[in-house]
Structure 1
């Protein structure tokens, strides 16, 4: 009976922590999917696109075909500003870096959960300064 209890408790712990959400964190203890206001200011980049290109170029990378129907495939992230759909990656060039508080990359599965279907290329979410 004690072995069964140990086995069940161990299994429960593995299931609980194995299913917990994860966050990508760099060696410096910073979230790799987030560009902070401090990083944006330090980059001295003129636009949100330039900030991303300088600090996290992988945000702008091709994600591959996301659908068997090429007309519906979104191989690049969609840009959202303050929770509203804003446009394709090129729209980041119209956002002055001085107006940006944070920039976060949501991978396809995160983007679908947070912003709904149709974001299989992921989402770059820009939060502006208030």
Structure 2
């Protein structure tokens, strides 16, 4: 994948220098751009003919389900991803079984840092965020 960009100085605006950034992404295979992606689209799930969101994640992005960090007896789910559906906490990764593929617009994985920024502490395993078609 090739990327290019340029910075254009567009003059003074109210005594301040205005700068515009312009970028473009080179052409490439769609699958090449998606590989390693943090998103699974409804189209990708439909193309697989999967029966559950869990199955789609297992087949397309199995690393999302990996346990991260250390586990403890007190909190055995500490390093596992937490599922949110439309911004509401839904449960552990196993709860993806209850989400109908037909209702999903896309599924996104947020790493621990991004999950903490968006949802607060307690997401060492990251977040699998499901957005439905509503």
Do they superpose with TM above 0.5?
A: yes
- Flag structure 1 segments of 5+ consecutive residues without an equivalent: 1-25
2:65 is matched with which residue: 60, 75, 78? 60
- CA contact 2:79–2:123 (8 Å) conserved in 1: no
- Please tell me the root mean square deviation across aligned C-alpha atoms, in Å: 2.0
1:96 is matched with which residue: 96, 100, 103? 100
Q: How do residues 14-33 of structure 1 correspond to structure 2 at under 5 angstroms?
A: 28-30=32-34, 32-33=37-38
- Residues 24-82 of structure 1 deviation map (CA, whole Å, 9 limit, x = unaligned): xx97222611001211111111111011011111111111317xx65246111000000
- CA contact 2:115–2:126 (8 Å) conserved in 1: yes
Paired with 2:42 and 2:58, the residues of 1 have a C-alpha distance of 16
Matched pairs, number:
103
Runs of 4+ in 1 over 2 A off after TM superposition: 69-73
Paired with 2:31 and 2:117, the residues of 1 have a C-alpha distance of 27
Structure having the higher strand fraction is 2
Q: CA deviation at 1:119?
A: 1.0
TM value normalised by structure 1: 0.72
- Cα distance change of structure 1 residues 36 and 27 upon mapping to structure 2, 3 Å threshold: closer
